[in-house]
């Protein structure tokens, strides 16, 4: 039985917050009303009318009402939220249904990360728990909000699972931990967290806090992996998702929070009145419609096929070490080896830089993160992009190791490796 109590966990000023209301909360626009309540420009947006109409009436995909851009967007997003519920009500984890009242939508997952911190954490007093290696914005948002950090590293690679014993101990003994931010599948690990491990944290008998699962990459995991609908069972569970990864909509900046109705009410009370722009909403509604889902699933199949190709081909390249982490995302985490066959940050950093500067192929150096010595994180691209990457990597690794590029600066190498242990 969880010790969670929203009334004592959330900040008192947030619990007392009266959300911003506008006239259209009381009088819905049916398309025939004369709207003189919100100080909008009645003549419309600063666009050439023919261009706006032409852009709106495309032959395929969503039709965006550019003429309506002079009106403030829908502050409640019920249609979009219902589509998200339809997608995540899979009944793999519960017979209950989530509804739009369980949702908050905002400007990417980053708004959700920040809003949860502002909702629950008193600046200068409260803390959050993170499990490195993990997504860096949790720590950035904590610093911005003057919220402390407790770090309990994940179990060693390649499992990268939760260290449940030490996390539970920290939640029992460390004062003022309000939130636990957990990434599943992990970034940069690509490894999912075990549902039963998460359950143990939700059931903590003394900790009055919220477990947050960041599922940014869950659409690349097996069917039924998302725990979004599980929020119907747990008042202290939050599941975050994004349209940026599986749906390929990074440019619209849309993030979603699934949680209990009371927490959702607090987040929706805190948000800016019109935080999701109308074009973002229109594009997202299409992306989560049956037609949009069909496109997403087709693209996902292509990405998975190239992910499998990378898993086959990377081990054949001299200088590529072990896969670290899991394969349930649209990226892979691999070690790079020095000429002695050891995972090495200086080698990985040299390859990272030369790939970008000489080959025009940009990956991500992750060697400074806990448990990721000598690692590059490689996003799965198109077939053409993967072909170019594999060729570039093989040539660059041979160049780096054959010419002893990285051993000439031992002091720099030691500094990089020391930072990797600290991070």
Ordered structural domains, the chain, with CATH: 6-22+72-288 (3.40.640.10), 23-71 (no CATH), 296-422 (3.90.1150.10)
pLDDT for 228-284, tens place per residue? 999 999 999 999 999 999 999 999 999 999 999 999 999 999 999 899 999 999 999
pLDDT at 418 over 50: no
Q: For 222, which DSSP code?
A: P
CA distance 51 to 28: 29
pLDDT for 291-318, tens place per residue? 999 999 999 999 999 999 999 999 999 9
How high does pLDDT run on average in the chain?
A: 91
Q: What is the mean pLDDT of residues 27-38?
A: 75
Phi, psi (rounded to 5 degrees) for 329: -145, -175
Q: Are 96 and 233 in contact (CB under 8 A)?
A: yes
Q: Are 229 and 88 in contact (CB under 8 A)?
A: yes
CA angle, residues 161, 165, 166, in degrees to nearest 5: 90
Q: Are 111 and 244 in contact (CB under 8 A)?
A: no
Rounded to the nearest angstrom, the gap between the alpha carbon of residue 117 and the centroid of all alpha carbons in its chain is 16
């Amino acid at each position: 039985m969880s010790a969670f109590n929203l009334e004592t966990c959330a900040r008192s000023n947030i619990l007392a917050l009266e959300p911003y209301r506008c006239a259209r909360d009381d009088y819905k626009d049916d398309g025939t009303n004369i709207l003189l309540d919100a100080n909008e420009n009645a003549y419309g947006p600063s666009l050439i009318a023919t261009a706006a109409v032409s852009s709106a009436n495309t032959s395929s995909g969503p039709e965006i009402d550019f003429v309506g851009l002079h009106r403030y967007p829908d502050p409640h997003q019920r249609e979009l939220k219902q589509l998200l519920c339809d997608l995540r009500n899979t009944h793999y984890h519960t017979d209950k249904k989530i509804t739009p009242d369980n949702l908050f939508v905002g400007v990417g997952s980053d708004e959700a990360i920040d809003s949860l911190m502002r909702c629950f954490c008193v600046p200068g007093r409260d803390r959050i728990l993170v499990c490195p290696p993990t997504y860096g914005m949790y720590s950035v948002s904590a610093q911005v909000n003057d919220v402390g950090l407790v770090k309990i590293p994940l179990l060693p690679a390649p499992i990268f699972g939760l260290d449940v014993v030490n996390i539970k101990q920290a939640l029992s003994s460390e004062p003022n931990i309000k939130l636990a931010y957990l990434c599943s599948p992990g970034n940069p690990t690509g490894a999912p967290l075990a549902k039963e491990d998460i359950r143990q944290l939700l059931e903590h008998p003394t900790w009055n806090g919220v477990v947050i699962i960041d599922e940014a990459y869950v659409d690349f995991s097996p069917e039924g992996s998302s725990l979004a609908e599980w929020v119907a069972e747990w008042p202290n569970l939050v599941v975050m998702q994004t349209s940026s990864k599986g749906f390929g909509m990074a440019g619209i900046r849309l993030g979603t929070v699934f949680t209990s109705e009371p927490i959702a009410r607090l987040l929706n009370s805190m948000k800016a009145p019109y935080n999701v722009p109308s074009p973002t909403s229109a594009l997202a509604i299409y992306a989560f419609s049956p037609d949009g889902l069909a496109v997403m699933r087709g693209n996902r199949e292509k990405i998975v096929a190239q992910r499998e190709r990378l898993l086959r081909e990377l081990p054949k390249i001299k200088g590529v070490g072990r896969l670290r982490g899991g394969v349930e995302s649209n990226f892979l985490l691999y070690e790079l080896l020095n000429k002695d066959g050891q995972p090495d940050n200086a080698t990985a950093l040299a390859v990272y830089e030369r790939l970008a500067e000489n080959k025009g192929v940009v990956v991500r150096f992750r060697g400074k993160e806990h448990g990721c010595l000598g690692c590059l994180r490689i996003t799965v691209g198109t077939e053409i992009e993967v072909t170019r990457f594999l060729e570039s990597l093989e040539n660059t690794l041979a160049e780096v190791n054959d010419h002893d590029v990285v051993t000439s600066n031992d002091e720099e190498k030691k500094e990089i490796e020391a930072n990797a242990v600290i991070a």
